[in-house]
């Protein structure tokens, strides 16, 4: 299943459901799909998500090169969260709501 985040102020962001639900939980949301954040709730959600990304960065050691079963390094939380953070920043600047729904 895919989850798409939308806001009138930014391009749609689509993520796999497990990643999207993790992002929602990190933002302090109940991780229900479909759902929405009102414009006045976006700055707090953005702050929580950015704090989680920063905490994850602190846990990652530069010399760590963990690999998955395919021999590739896993995608970091900061890379996965970046598009959603940009969407939230744009929505906060425009005082706009953010919505998400599944594309199953």
Q: Could you tell me which residue, 51 or 69, shows the higher pLDDT?
A: 51
The predicted structure's pLDDT at residue 14:
97
Taking the C-alpha atoms of residue 63 and residue 65, their distance in angstroms, rounded to an integer, is 6
Q: CA angle 83-47-93, nearest 5°?
A: 65
Residue position matching structure tokens 């229900």: 32
The predicted structure's pLDDT at residue 59:
80
Taking the C-alpha atoms of residue 85 and residue 78, their distance in angstroms, rounded to an integer, is 9
Least confident of 37-41, 52-56, 70-74, 97-101: 70-74
Instruction: Tell me the pLDDT tens digit for each residue of 8-41.
Output: 999 999 999 999 999 999 999 988 999 999 999 9
Residue position matching structure tokens 């395919």: 70
pTM, full prediction: 0.85
Instruction: Tell me the pLDDT tens digit for each residue of 76-97.
Output: 888 999 999 999 999 999 999 9
């Amino acid at each position: 299943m895919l989850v798409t985040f939308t806001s009138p102020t930014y391009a749609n962001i689509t993520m796999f459901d497990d990643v999207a639900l993790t992002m929602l939980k990190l933002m302090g949301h109940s991780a229900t799909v479909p759902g929405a954040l009102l414009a006045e709730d976006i700055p707090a959600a953005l702050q929580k998500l950015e704090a989680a990304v920063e905490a994850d960065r602190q846990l990652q050691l530069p010399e760590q090169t963990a690999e998955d079963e395919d021999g590739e390094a896993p995608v970091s939380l900061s890379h996965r969260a970046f598009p959603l953070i940009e969407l939230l920043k744009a929505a906060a600047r425009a005082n706009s709501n953010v919505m998400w729904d599944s594309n199953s």
